[in-house]
Amino acid sequence: MNEGGYGLAIAIAVVAFVFILLAAAVRILREYERAVIFRLGRLIPVKGPGLILLIPVVDRMERISTRIETIDVQRQEMMTRDNVPVTVDAVVYYRVVESADAVVKVKNFHKATYLLAQTTLRSVLGQSELDELLAARDKINQRLQEIIDEHTEPWGIKVSLVEVRDVVLPDTMKRAMARQAEIERERRAKVINAEGEYQAAQRLADAAQIISTQPIALQLRFLQTLSEVASEHNSTTIFPVPIDLFTPFIKGLVRPASGHSGPPPAGEATS
């Protein structure tokens, strides 16, 4: 091979070496990515997004995403405070806010957050009663979020939301709760019925008191009943007529008759 051939081979080798260096030194980060760089083992300021340059062999980079991530806490069985076995699962939403802390202060922040959420879920639900778990789930979610976020804050992790997704009860507990709900509905129906009877009795007592002070009201009610029966039935109905109906008429007849003089007393002479 002549000198021209050697020169061309060297030039190609130099170009390939430069290309390899550029490929190892140039990194392009997306808007939601950050670069945690260790230069000879020492942490340097976080870089990104955009184009960054690394020193080959000297720098080692870890790419961190700052988008919201989700952790699916698998279904697990536990006991509530009132000794009811339940099976629950949850989902955790978190994001990295301090990329350097997420790399330096914890080995695997995703796994560490998952294990922390799993143990916290068991601990918090174990301190809650079944009624609270079913009716006040928002409070339990808030408590879980606060506890997990407090522990992950030193790692540069922000837990924004924790949701208890599903609560599975044993079949015996479901039947007992259904029976309890049925008994509660029966109790409410009986209370409403008793309240209606009480109000009706109260109204009847008020009506009786009014009628006792106004005898004419009883007569009007009696005549109204006769009218209703006569208009609805094409048959002969015999009613006993109370003497009270005729009392006003009797008094009217007795009063004029008391004004006339009667026969003379015995033994008195007539003229």
pLDDT value of position 13: 79
> Which of 128, 146, 169 finishes a domain?
169
pTM of the predicted protein model: 0.62
Q: What is the CATH number of the domain that holds 114?
A: 3.30.479.30
The answer to the question of residue 191 being in a domain is: yes
pLDDT at 196 over 90: no
- Distance between CA atoms of residues 90 and 69, nearest Å: 14
Q: Using one digit for the tens of pLDDT, what is the confidence trace for 117-173?
A: 999 999 998 888 888 888 888 999 999 999 999 999 999 999 999 999 888 887 777
Residues forming a β-bridge with 87: 77, 168
The answer to the question of residue 256 being in a domain is: no
pLDDT value of position 85: 87
The answer to the question of residue 217 being in a domain is: yes
